[in-house]
Amino acid sequence: MKRVKVSEDLLRVKDLVGRASHVRVRNVRDEVTTQLAELGYRMEKLENGSEKMESNVNLKRKKQIIFLLKEKSMTAADVGKALKLSRNRANEYLKSIEKEGIIKGSIIERKKYYSVKVNK
C-alpha cells in the first residue's frame, strides 16, 4: 500500500474546501434515481451489444457445426460427440445457428435433427 505524506493530504483537503462552491449536493432519492437510470441504460447497451459481438471460438465452432451438418442431419448429442462438446453446449450452438436462419431443425421420434437449409 502506498503511503501518502500528511502534507499532501492537507493540500488535497484544502483544494477540495476551496472548490466547495462548485459541489452540488442532491438528495438521496435523486441520486438513487439517477444511478438506476444510468444502470438501466448500461444494461440495455450490453444486451444489445452482446448479440452483435461473438468471440472467435463461437464463430469457429459454428463453422465446424455447419460443415458437419452439410454432410448429414445430426442431433445435438451427435454434434457434441463429433466436436467433443457437451450435448447442452452443442444444443446452444445449434439453437443460435437456427435462429440465424442457416440451419433447420426437424423432430423425428422425440429427437430433433438439424440440417443445413437448402436455398432454392
For helices 87-100 and 56-71, angle between their N-to-C axes, nearest 10 degrees: 90
Q: Provide the pLDDT for residue 31.
A: 75
Report whether CATH 1.10.10.10 matches the domain 56-116: yes
3-state secondary structure of 85: coil
Distance from C-alpha of 47 to C-alpha of 120, rounded to nearest angstrom: 35
Q: 84 CB contacts (<8 Å, ≥6 apart)?
A: none
Domain ranges of the chain: 56-116
pLDDT tens digits, 29-46:
777 777 777 777 666 766
- Read off the pLDDT of residues 1-19 as tens digits, 9 standing for 90 and up: 566 556 666 667 666 666 5
pLDDT value at position 39?
73
Question: Percentage of residues in the chain with pLDDT exceeding 90?
Answer: 42
Res. 105: pLDDT tops 90: yes
